[in-house]
Chains A and B, each alone.
Chain A
Amino acid sequence: MIAFLIRRLIAFVAVMFCVVSITFLAIRISPGGPFDRERKLPDAIEKKLLEKYRLDGSLWEQYTGYVGDVFLRGDLRDSTKYLNRSVGEILAQTLPVTMTLGASAFCLAVVAGTFLGVAAGAGKGTWKDTLAMLFALVAVSLPSFIIGPLLILFFCIWLGWLPVGGWGTPQAMILPTLTLAAPYVAYIARLLRGSMAETLGQDFIRTARAKGLPERVVLYRHALRVAILPVISFLGPLAAHLLTGSIVVETIFNIPGAGGFFVNSILNKDAFLLGGVVIVYCALLVLFNLIVDLAYTVLDRRIRIDG
């Protein structure tokens, strides 16, 4: 177990190193610099700025300097766009917002997806099943930038029930969460429907039913415990999709999260801010995958993690 964790940690550092390198080199190689303006800055000033942000010297020097700062000193440096704000500071302000949105969408996707999937899988061929799967097909097919604006139009503008955008109140969270979670509610429902239908045909379910257990207990306590495994292994990718998805959802609903900075830092050639956002995103992804692997062993005793 400990050996497994150590191996994961080494792989984690390696992945981070690759991602940071690729990101930094790519954005520095692509044309255009962080201080390009409509009117070109005087050379002396631009040189001074590059020096201040340690972007002078050869590409190799810049790269080694940056990677050294990040991995040896844990310094993400200052944003080249947002004056006098460090990348760490920007992340500290925006990440909680993104995480709240992501976490609430995650919970919604898992809970609603599970209920829908169990209902559909247990009643395969009934109207419940048809309805759930029709919803799932629509929700899986349509991206958030179709669903989001339509939801705003309907709930905020025609009905006037919810605020159009912004962040901070519980009402403002409802539509972004719904928009972000919808495709994954559907995906989980589909996954679970398949595995549920398969599990319900097995012997231990017949035994449970023969014991006279109520159907609810059979479904949720016995069958779900086995049928949920494919869903569990989807949770890692789910977290990844939610993180990327939140970029669009934050743009649609004007939410002050890290996603907006991600896009802007690319447009502004803000290498350090982009690097910081990418590091955090990748770290989260790897962490989620690790948690999923651990959860797998807890749920299914047949899988052992070998050291």
Chain B
Amino acid sequence: MADVRAWRRFRQNKVAVASALILLLMAAACAIGPCFFPESHTQPSATSFSPPTLTHPCGTDLNGRDLLYRILTGGRVSLIVGFFGAAVSLIIGTAYGLVAGYVGGRVDNVMMRVVDILYSVPRLIFILVCIGALNARLLEFASEHRIGWLVSYSRIVILIFSLGVIEWLTLARIVRGQTLALKNRPFVTAAVSLGQSHIVILLRHLLPNLLGVIFIYLTLTVPAVIIDESFLSFLGLGVQAPMASWGSLLADGAGSLNPIKIRWWLVVFPAAAMAITLLALNFLGDALRDTLDPKETAK
């Protein structure tokens, strides 16, 4: 019942629907767009730093590659890392928060202190250590077992995991708080008195009640992870050339900014692609909070 109401309210929110459509379009463009480019656009060519023309609607970069193609393939990386990284953080954060809140007492205390400490660890160091320490091992593992795709995408896999692993802290706190509030409610007491196991109570009774909060938080985590990934790639620490992400494209563009040769397209188009995506995600998140907020639906 509440779901139907929330869905109706969501559809009435024009900004939210528009944002969702833009996001779908962007994802579709990044997913299938690159397939439609002729080979002359996907490979380095002699026409470097061409301003936007009819054949190259976003211009070309230093190596004469079509910038639109680069932006779409870069978007693939950014969006994949964003969504899967957020999914990893979602799983860790939810599990951690559920257990801490449900078990309570001293265990809860220790688990939350650990979160406090992890908050104070510089995240950049952690990611870099992950990349440095795991990349070589993963490559070794991949070539040993002949997993071809893992060799070329090892960086992305590591980025997804390390970003997921650092972004779960806030969600763990939120889920723990909600669990604490829920576990003394009559339906949980009833489940306990029926002799149901802890696992069943956690997964069947508590988790469904947390889905709204988790979903709202997901729309905040995805842009956060996309920004983290681009931040690393911007500093040259994330995806490695020739692979691109929005962050590394922006870094290329920012690096080629100088007053003598104005290559504005190298900055404007990657920035626009990323800005549109981030803004749409944030608008969507705001709208979802309004429609799915448990306080609102309780009214």
Seen from chain A, the residues whose Cβ lies within 8 Å of a Cβ on chain B are 15, 18-19, 22-23, 26-27, 29-32, 137-138, 140-143, 145-146, 148-150, 152-153, 156-158, 160, 164, 244, 247-248, 251-252, 262-263, 266-267, 274, 278, 281-282, 285
With a CB–CB cut-off of 8 A, which chain B residues contact A164? 257-259
Contact B129 A27 (CB under 8 A): yes
Interface of A is mostly: helix
Contact A30 B258 (CB under 8 A): no
With a CB–CB cut-off of 8 A, which chain A residues contact B286? 137
B29-61 interface mask toward A, CB cutoff 8 Å, 1 = contact, 0 = none? 000000000000000000000000000000000
Contact B254 A252 (CB under 8 A): yes
A30-B132, A32-B132, A141-B278 known; A149 vs B223 contact (CB < 8 Å): no
Shortest Cβ distance from A45 into chain B, in angstroms?
24
With a CB–CB cut-off of 8 A, which chain B residues contact A32? 132
Shortest Cβ distance from B207 into chain A, in angstroms?
30
Seen from chain B, the residues whose Cβ lies within 8 Å of a Cβ on chain A are 117, 120-125, 128-129, 132-133, 136, 223, 227, 230-231, 234-235, 237, 247, 250-251, 253-254, 257-259, 262, 264, 267-268, 271, 274-275, 278-279, 281-283, 286
CA distance A171 to B133 in the complex (A): 42
Contact A153 B278 (CB under 8 A): no
With a CB–CB cut-off of 8 A, which chain B residues contact A152? 254, 257
With a CB–CB cut-off of 8 A, which chain B residues contact A15? 117, 120
- From A150, A156, A160, A278, contact of B125 by CB (8 A): A278
CA distance A244 to B129 in the complex (A): 17
Shortest Cβ distance from B141 into chain A, in angstroms?
14
- From B237, B250, B258, contact of A263 by CB (8 A): B237
Contact A248 B254 (CB under 8 A): no
CA distance A251 to B251 in the complex (A): 10
Contact B271 A146 (CB under 8 A): yes
With a CB–CB cut-off of 8 A, which chain B residues contact A252? 254
- From A18, A27, A251, contact of B235 by CB (8 A): A251
Contact B282 A140 (CB under 8 A): yes
Contact B124 A145 (CB under 8 A): no
Shortest Cβ distance from B220 into chain A, in angstroms?
11
CA distance A145 to B278 in the complex (A): 13
With a CB–CB cut-off of 8 A, which chain A residues contact B133? 26, 29-31
A146-B250, A248-B235, A285-B120 known; A153 vs B129 contact (CB < 8 Å): no
Contact A157 B278 (CB under 8 A): no
CA distance A19 to B129 in the complex (A): 13
CA distance A15 to B116 in the complex (A): 11
